[in-house]
Amino acid sequence: MCGRYASARKKHELLEEFQVEQDGEPDKELNADYNVAPTKNVYAVLSRVPKEAERAVRQLRIVKWGLVPAWAKDPSIGSRMINARAETLAEKPSFRQAFAKRRCLLPADGYFEWMPVEGEKKKKQPYFIHPSDGGVLAMAGLYEFWKDPSRDDDDPLKWLVTCTVITTNAEDKLGRIHDRMPMMIERERWAEWLDPKLTDTEQAGALLVPAEPGRLTAYAVSTDVNNVRNNGPDLIKPLPEGEETALF
């Protein structure tokens, strides 16, 4: 699973990196977050066809992490929908409509996973996993709209926009840390993945190709990341040489 990640790039960097045409939240900017946890607001890149427009426009939106299906009676279900397995997207009622029509990219600098420490049942060592070239990690995601029946139609909080991170099997060296990892979408597939006109789930599924071995790299970091209240660039700093090996 992917339950924690880092997203510290500024909005203007993401607008340029993802060639965004429309800032969906021009008056809002998220702070750098080195400990993004479920239910937090995050950036999502998506393409939608505006009213009376002829083509889709690539947007940067702020959404809540934890997908709430349109049919949900209560938004609290989102806390259990932070990840969607790539293998069953077209089958699960919670994800299949979004997979066909509402795909997105979730920008990250990298994500965290925890590996059990040998010889110690309850102790786990956190790792920061990120693109080897230092570039942005474009995680495959789905987004959804949920209408709050308790609010008036003119209430700005009437609609809740949420997302989930698509995961796949982790292989190569990353598999020893955790058997699942976020699905990464390479730049050459961004446009097709985001295209709302692509509603054939078989074609969309063909775009989900796990990262090649060596594309991502990992190093041990401080257990400070375990506490969601902790934040800051120190959370993604490698442990000093010798500290990691002492744990195994």
Closest CA to 105 of 32, 31, 26, 191: 191
Confirm whether 104 is a catalytic residue. Answer: no
Distance of CA 167 to the CA centre of its chain: 9
Catalytic entry in 104, 113, 144, 163: 113
**Which two tokens mark 12?**
């203007």
Catalytic entry in 2, 104, 144, 163: 2
C-alpha distance from residue 139 to each of 123, 181, 189, 208, 215 (Å): 28, 10, 12, 11, 13
Confirm whether 2 is a catalytic residue. Answer: yes
List the beta strands (DSSP E) in the chain: 5-7, 22-23, 33-36, 41-48, 57-65, 83-85, 103-108, 110-116, 124-131, 137-147, 159-169, 180-182, 216-220
Tell me which residues are annotated as active site.
2, 113
